[in-house]
């Protein structure tokens, strides 16, 4: 069998012969998505099936070297479905491990928390400046790694249905039989999902949507850290604190899926004064780090004429009820490992408790660990090793010998790796 490295020079001709897909040659120039014509869908893509590959290219620049442990990496533009169940598209990056695990192919779909309403914050581009260590670690295990830009072309941060669909369709795309360059043995592959915070948002929505949207996918399990089940409660929790910058990104991101909601919210912003429309809309071109630095400590509701009552309007509630609350679109069919800081200052732990209790009541297999030490950011580190252990077990087939395979286990733990209260 040809190795991924030997296949790299053949990728253009291979895909042209097998599937007629538009391809581009590797480039040393790395453009932001807003300036890169690759980030688009060809005419007529709407008639293709969700998960269909629309474009494929070897990643430009030196991303493979930056991440490490990868023999090749590719960008895929694929067909997906937005929050209103209309045809859409998204981009994912798939990494081929330098030493694939023999036997069953293991695929980790790793959803990065990018939490921004700017398409230029998408992981396929952001990874060049901040290569994720989890991807490097996963590749060292011999796993293929899928990293989707799950917010889609509108950068719809917090739009749960969009994020879940795009995550599932990214997995469909890399398991597509035409993508033989990856050497993924689809008949014997195991696929797991992992994400923290915003990445867990996409991962959780994928697990609850799968049963009705992508029932043919055989997923092995999902590790979900720092869940944010209720967007309204997140906004009420973070306004005025260091994470207040999440709110403009979330408001514009979710509303981007609902034009009437978007127009209403923008019209409700103060036209002048200290907290005004122009300042709020600066967030459209910010990364989450920039937004949190810029809006830190501000009461974001002060930007709106009617304050927090703005979000009680029917046109806003419509979008929130469809896209902002987990647990109402389906029941996960796979084992779940959830980890959460009891003192999470972004999303109240009670929201995650309630979500997982609801799932437990309908038969989902869950291990839920609530950490009494640290906050939202710290738990990303404090829970890391436990999440990686869970993902490893579902991918190597040892899950049943390590974990309880039926029912739920909820327990409090005290794990302190970061020595951080945040």
Q: What is the DSSP string of 64-91?
A: HHHH-SEEEEEEEEEEEE-TTS-EEEEE
Length of the chain: 422
Instruction: State the Cα–Cα distance between residues 22 and 42, nearest whole angstrom.
Output: 9
Tell me how far the alpha carbon of residue 101 is from its chain's centroid. Answer: 25
DSSP H stretches of helix in 228-348: 231-238, 246-255, 259-267, 277-281, 288-295, 314-323
Closest CA to 181 of 76, 89, 103, 104: 76
Kindly tell me the burial class for residue 49, based on how many C-beta atoms sit within 10 Å of its own C-beta (0-12, 13-18, 19 or more). Answer: exposed
Identify any residues that bridge with 95 across adjacent strands, giving them in sequence order.
73, 145
Pick the catalytic residue from 344, 384, 392, 393.
Answer: 344
Pick the catalytic residue from 376, 377, 384, 393.
Answer: 376
Three-class secondary structure of residue 213 per DSSP: helix
Active site residue 140: no
Task: Give me the sign of the Cα torsion angle 196, 198, 201, 203.
Answer: negative
Pick the catalytic residue from 109, 170, 197, 377.
Answer: 197
Instruction: State the Cα–Cα distance between residues 151 and 128, nearest whole angstrom.
Output: 18
Task: Tell me how far CA of residue 127 lies from CA of 73, 233, 250, 260, 293, in angstroms.
Answer: 12, 30, 21, 33, 21
Is the distance from CB of 69 to CB of 84 less than 8 angstroms?
Answer: no
Q: How many CA atoms lie within 13 A of 258 on its CB side?
A: 27
Kindly tell me the burial class for residue 232, based on how many C-beta atoms sit within 10 Å of its own C-beta (0-12, 13-18, 19 or more). Answer: middle
Active site residue 82: no
Active site residue 197: yes
- Annotated catalytic sites, by residue? 197, 344, 376
């Amino acid at each position: 069998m040809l190795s991924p490295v030997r296949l790299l020079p053949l990728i253009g001709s291979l895909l042209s012969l097998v599937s007629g897909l538009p391809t581009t040659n590797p480039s040393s120039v790395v453009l932001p998505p807003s300036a890169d014509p690759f980030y688009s869908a060809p005419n007529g893509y709407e008639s293709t099936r969700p998960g269909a590959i629309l474009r494929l290219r070897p990643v430009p620049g030196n991303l493979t070297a930056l991440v490490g442990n990868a023999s090749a990496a590719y960008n895929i533009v694929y067909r997906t479905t937005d929050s209103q169940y209309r045809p859409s598209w998204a981009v994912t990056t798939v990494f081929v491990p330098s030493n694939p695990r023999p036997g069953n192919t293991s695929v980790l779909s790793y959803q990065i928390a990018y939490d921004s309403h700017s398409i230029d914050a998408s992981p396929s581009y952001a990874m060049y400046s901040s290569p994720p260590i989890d991807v490097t670690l996963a590749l060292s295990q011999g796993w293929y790694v899928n990293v989707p830009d799950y917010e889609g072309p509108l950068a719809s941060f917090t739009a749960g249905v969009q994020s879940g669909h795009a995550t599932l369709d990214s997995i469909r795309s890399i398991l597509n039989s035409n993508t033989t360059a990856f050497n993924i043995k689809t008949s014997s592959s195991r696929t797991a999902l992992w994400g923290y915070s915003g990445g867990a948002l996409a991962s959780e929505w994928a697990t609850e949507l799968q049963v009705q949207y992508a029932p043919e996918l055989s997923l092995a399990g999902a590790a979900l850290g720092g869940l944010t089940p209720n967007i309204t409660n997140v906004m009420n929790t973070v306004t005025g604190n260091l994470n207040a910058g999440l709110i403009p990104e979330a408001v514009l991101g979710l509303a981007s899926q609902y034009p009437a909601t978007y127009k209403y919210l923008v019209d409700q912003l103060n036209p002048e004064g200290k907290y005004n429309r122009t300042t709020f809309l600066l967030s459209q071109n910010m990364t989450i780090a920039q937004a949190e630095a810029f809006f830190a400590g501000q009461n974001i509701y002060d930007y709106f004429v009617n304050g927090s009552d703005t979000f009680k309007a029917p046109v806003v509630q419509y979008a929130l009820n469809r896209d902002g609350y987990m647990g109402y679109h389906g029941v996960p069919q796979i084992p779940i490992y959830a980890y959460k800081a009891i003192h999470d200052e972004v999303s109240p732990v009670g929201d995650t408790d309630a979500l997982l209790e609801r799932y437990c009541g309908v038969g989902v297999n869950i291990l839920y660990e609530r950490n009494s030490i640290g906050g939202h950011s710290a738990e990303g580190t404090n829970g890391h090793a436990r999440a990686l252990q869970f993902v490893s077990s579902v991918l190597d087939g040892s899950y049943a010998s390590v974990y309880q395979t039926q029912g739920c286990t909820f327990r409090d733990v005290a794990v302190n790796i970061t020595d951080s209260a945040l």
